[in-house]
């Protein structure tokens, strides 16, 4: 799904959301310098794979948080992790670098990418801000609605402490 298809899908599901259109943001630093309605709820996404290229994961954390892949590996019981290639990203989620989003999982036909979502997003307001598969907008929605959409699609999604 592209940006407009994501908007149409969310509308059809009657899910509460807000959209902020903005200039392309390729890094979290660029995104954090933009005026946003929920700046403390913006997501940073890491698309990683294990050392055998058999398991792929999307790690979504709140804002400028840093993820130590060695610690993540130990906590989640995965093999050694590294960033997946741009080719894997395009093939599996149909998005380009800089546009990585949990909504890309809706393009993952094989449902073979697992989402690990920072528990911070389910706390407080429960709002999450993510790209609609393009980095020229941010869609704000309830985290539980996002998790429901991804799980209904068939991808595994786990809320974890990061």
Q: What percent of the chain has pLDDT over 70?
A: 99
Q: What is the mean pLDDT of residues 109-125?
A: 97
Domains and CATH numbers, the chain: 3-160 (3.90.960.10)
pLDDT for residue 24: 87
Please provide residue 138's backbone torsions phi and psi, each rounded to the nearest 5 degrees: -125, 130
Residues 6+ apart with CB under 8 A from 41: 62, 63, 121, 125, 127, 128, 129, 140
pLDDT the model gives residue 37: 92
pLDDT mean across residues, the chain: 94
pTM: 0.94
- Is the confidence at residue 32, as pLDDT, over 80? no
Least confident interval from 17-26, 76-85, 145-154 = 17-26
């Amino acid at each position: 799904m592209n940006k407009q298809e994501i908007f149409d899908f969310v509308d059809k599901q009657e899910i509460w959301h807000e959209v902020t259109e903005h200039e392309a943001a390729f890094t979290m630093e660029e995104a954090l310098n933009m005026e946003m309605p929920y700046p403390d709820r913006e997501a940073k996404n890491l698309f990683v794979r294990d050392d055998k290229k058999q398991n792929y994961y999307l790690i979504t954390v709140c804002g400028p948080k840093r993820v130590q892949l060695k610690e993540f590996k130990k906590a989640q019981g995965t093999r050694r992790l590294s960033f997946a290639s741009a080719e894997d990203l395009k093939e599996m989620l149909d998005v380009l670098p800089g546009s990585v989003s949990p909504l890309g999982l809706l393009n993952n036909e094989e449902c073979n990418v697992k989402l690990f979502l920072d528990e911070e997003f389910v706390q407080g307001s429960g709002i999450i801000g993510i790209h609609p598969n393009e980095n020229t907008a941010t869609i704000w929605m309830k985290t539980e609605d996002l998790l429901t959409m991804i799980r209904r699609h068939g991808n595994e999604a786990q809320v974890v402490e990061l």
